[in-house]
């Protein structure tokens, strides 16, 4: 099947005109977006690579397509931004089954529909293995994008949701050869709420694991952090299931990665009275929020297992 | 070498803060751009895949890095847009020589500097083979983006520059196993001039070859086109060099692809008096312009060899 026919299959699933402020979508040399004053556009890119992030014999193509967009939306969430649109650069061998091609696109477009992030452009190219390289465009009010930088001593550290489920599922699947079928939930509503909150100091999404991503937030600050390992929120029955696989629950929760929850810091002090307790925060962010520690002291993260050295180039799994 | 160390190598070459309207560049979850009224942003994505678009034993990594950006800038040119910034999603095996990694980045950043298109974000992932997936952001005045659609009977067809050089170089390299070293020149100045010209009807960049890309412009119009094959502009000595390789010069010029020149249509009539002759156009567009034919008649392109069927999924070479 030629490229034109494949693009037709995409258009049939995604639609040609994304609407809203998109002046032009799929089918021309580029997509065109009308801009507005008082806002900032936010750009991020991430990839799912066959043999590294997914295997077609382990999960349906639809799940891969959904995840390819979801991990990018998670980066928007960490900026406190709302989705505007997405571009997909898809590489695949000529031998890729058409049902898998369609599955990738349907999953992507399905996820796009859930979060109001239309597919507005893309590219198809041959390659020996399949990969999906996604760029997502978001928007936020001028000056309100959440950053990774800015932590100060005394800031309180929080996470959304629960940690370790993705890593445990990966370990379980490796053991049993089971299908993975995990699509993270991008914390877009939580990120947008944090961007509107006074006192939010920094935010990052947990893709590499709490210990690694917290180290990213601390980079260049000169400070360390104290985390209470007993406070890390994990799914029900998590410790037992880890031990049944011979794994240390704390290591899985703190180092496992791919949680795609938000790790954020709020400044301490008067803001405490403004409903910065976990219960009020959970209500405002629309997801469970747990306070896990505090910024300060000498560099290094105390309370979490050390991150292994020699982390491999890029991906995982 | 870990991902963080590799990102440091990129930052050392690209800089952390792209400046201008970029509020935030490499190093956070996403890049952030301040927007303006009265303008539109333009988005395009394209890839260079090892074994499909390049081979490291055939050309230096720097050239691959430059071309990865240049082919995207060519799409901006076809929209009449100016570059604003670029994101790079780079996949590579852990075994990729560091000198090649650096070469890819240096080539990319070098090209970015030439055209004022800073690298503002990206992603690194493992893969068995190397690939560079690039998204470029451009801008143009509201309502002025050049489109592929809109051709009408009587419109005059033009191309910039010369055709067939890329295809001939590819054939020559295939024959002699020589290095390729080709980086197309994105016709950004020409595209911007066309966007400001009254009477520009449609524009596309010649990536797949004149015959194929002209068919793209004609899609859905109900018209065909008459092209004068004697008028196709080719490099000096082109016909002789094609024949020496046993190739038909017209087929190489019309079907070869990867010229990355602009094919555009101007409406006929009064506009003719406004300096729409090739000589005046060449002056305004900053590159040689040749009139090659006219839109009209029954569907189909007369005067060019037919495009081979069964065009392969995506790439070439």
A166: in domain: yes
Specify the 3-state DSSP secondary structure of B177.
coil
The domain total for chain B is 2
Does any domain span residue A307? no
- 3-state secondary structure at position A237: coil
| CA-derived radius of gyration, chain B | 20
User: Is residue B173 in some structural domain?
Assistant: yes
Quick check: B314 contacting A, CB < 8 Å?
Answer: yes
For residue B80, give the nearest of B313, B290, B264, B276 by alpha carbon.
B264
**CA B188 vs CA B106, B122, B217, B267: distances in Å:** 21, 23, 19, 21
Range in A119-123, A299-303, A306-310, B230-234 the model is least confident about? A306-310
Asked if residue B127 is part of any domain, the answer here is: yes
* Residue B273 forms contact with A (CB below 8 Å): no
B85-123 pLDDT per residue, tens: 999 999 999 999 999 999 999 999 999 999 999 999 999
With CA atoms as reference, the chain B residue closest to A78 would be B29
Q: Are residues A52 and A136 in the same domain?
A: yes
Q: Does residue A114 lie within any of the structural domains?
A: yes
A169 and A134 within one domain: no
Q: Are residues A130 and A212 in the same domain?
A: no
Identify the residue among A20, A33, A43 best suited for mutation to test binding to B, counting B beta carbons within 10 A and taking the highest.
Answer: A43
Q: How far apart are CA B16 and CA B28, in angstroms?
A: 10
B33's tokens:
């751009």
Residue span of the structural domain in which A110 resides: 3-141
Same domain as A290, residue A171: yes
Q: Tell me, yes or no, whether A107 and A7 share the same domain.
A: yes
Q: What is the ipTM of this complex?
A: 0.92
- CB pair distance less than 8 Å for A314 and B145: no
Hey, are the CB atoms on B145 and A92 less than 8 Å from each other?
no
- Evaluate whether residue B148 is within a structural domain: no
Calculate how close chain A gets to B229, using CA atoms only, in Å: 26
CATH assignment of the domain containing A255: 3.90.650.10
Residues B133-182 have pLDDT tens digits of 999 999 999 999 999 988 999 999 999 999 999 999 988 888 887 766 68
Question: In terms of domains, do B242 and B291 share one?
Answer: yes
In this predicted model, what pLDDT tens digit does every residue of A58-112 receive, in sequence order?
899 999 999 999 999 999 999 999 999 999 999 999 999 999 999 999 999 999 9
* A95, burial (CB in 10 Å: exposed 0-12, middle 13-18, buried 19+): exposed
Residue A312 sits at the chain B interface (C-beta within 8 Å): yes
Task: Judge if A297 and A191 occupy the same domain.
Answer: yes
In chain A, what residues touch B28 (CB-CB under 8 Å)? 79, 147-149
Q: Within this chain, do residues A164 and A113 fall inside the same structural domain, yes or no? A: no
Number of other CB atoms surrounding residue B60 within 10 Å: 18
Query: Within an 8 Å CB–CB cutoff, is residue B124 touching chain A?
Result: yes
Tokens linked to B1: 């070498």
What integer pLDDT is reported at residue A309 of this predicted model?
A: 57
Which are the contacts of A143, defined by CB distance < 8 A and separation ≥ 6? A40
User: In chain A, which residues have their Cβ closer than 8 Å to the Cβ of B43?
Assistant: 30-33, 85, 87, 120-121, 135, 137
B277 and B164: one domain? yes
Report the DSSP pairing between strands B119-126 and B82-92. parallel
Among residues A141, A167, A186, the one where a domain terminates is A141
Of A30, A310, A314, the CB nearest to B44: A30
Q: Do B32 and A145 touch (CB under 8 A)?
A: yes
DSSP A119: E
pLDDT at B175: 83
Record the tokens describing residue A177, joined without a space.
Answer: 């050869």
Look at residue B67 and tell me whether its pLDDT is greater than 60.
yes
> Considering only CA atoms, which of B208, B271, B165, B236 is closest in space to residue B78?
B208
- Sign for the pseudo-dihedral over CA of B228, B232, B237, B239: negative
Residues A133 and A66 occupy one common structural domain:
yes
- Residue A296 inside a domain? The answer is yes
Q: Is residue B182 domain-shared with residue B121, that is, in the same domain?
A: no
Q: In the predicted model, what is the mean pLDDT of residues A21-36? A: 86
> Which residue from A120, A273, A91, A112 is spatially nearest to A186, judged by alpha carbons?
A112
Q: Of B114, B141, B168, which one is at a domain's C-terminal end?
A: B141
The CATH number assigned to the domain holding B83 equals: 3.30.1330.10
pTM: 0.93
Tokens of B266: 């101007």
- Residue A308 covered by a domain: no
Identify whether residues B78 and B162 lie together within a single domain. Answer: no
- Domain ends where: A141, A168, A200? A141
């Amino acid at each position: 099947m030629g490229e034109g026919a494949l693009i037709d299959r995409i258009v049939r699933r995604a639609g040609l005109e994304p609407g809203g402020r998109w002046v032009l979508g799929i089918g021309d040399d580029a997509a065109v977006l009308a801009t507005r004053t008082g806002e900032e556009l936010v750009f991020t890119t991430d990839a799912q690579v066959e043999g590294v992030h997914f295997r077609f014999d382990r999960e349906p193509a639809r799940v891969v397509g959904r995840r390819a967009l979801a991990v990018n939306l998670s980066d928007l969430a960490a900026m406190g931004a709302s989705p505007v649109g997405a571009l997909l650069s898809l590489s695949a061998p000529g031998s890729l089954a058409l049902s898998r091609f369609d599955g990738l696109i349907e999953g992507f477009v399905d996820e796009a529909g859930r979060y109001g992030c239309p597919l507005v452009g893309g590219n198809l190219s041959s390659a020996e293995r399949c990969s999906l390289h996604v760029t997502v465009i978001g928007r936020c009010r001028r000056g309100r994008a959440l950053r990774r930088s800015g932590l100060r001593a005394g800031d309180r550290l929080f996470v959304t949701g629960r940690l370790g489920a993705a890593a445990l599922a990966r370990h379980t699947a490796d053991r049993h050869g089971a299908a993975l079928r995990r699509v993270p939930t991008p914390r877009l509503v939580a990120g947008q709420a944090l961007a509107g909150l006074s006192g939010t100091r920094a935010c990052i999404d947990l893709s590499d694991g709490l210990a690694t991503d917290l180290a990213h937030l601390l980079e260049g600050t000169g400070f360390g952090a104290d985390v209470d390992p007993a406070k890390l929120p994990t799914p029900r029955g998590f410790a037992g299931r880890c031990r049944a696989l011979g794994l240390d629950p704390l290591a899985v929760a703190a180092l496992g990665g791919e949680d795609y929850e938000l790790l954020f810091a709020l400044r301490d002090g008067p803001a405490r009275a403004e409903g910065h307790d976990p219960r009020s925060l959970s209500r405002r962010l629309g997801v469970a929020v747990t306070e896990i520690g505090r910024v300060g002291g000498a560099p290094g993260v105390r309370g979490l297992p050390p991150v292994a050295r020699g982390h491999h180039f890029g991906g995982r799994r």
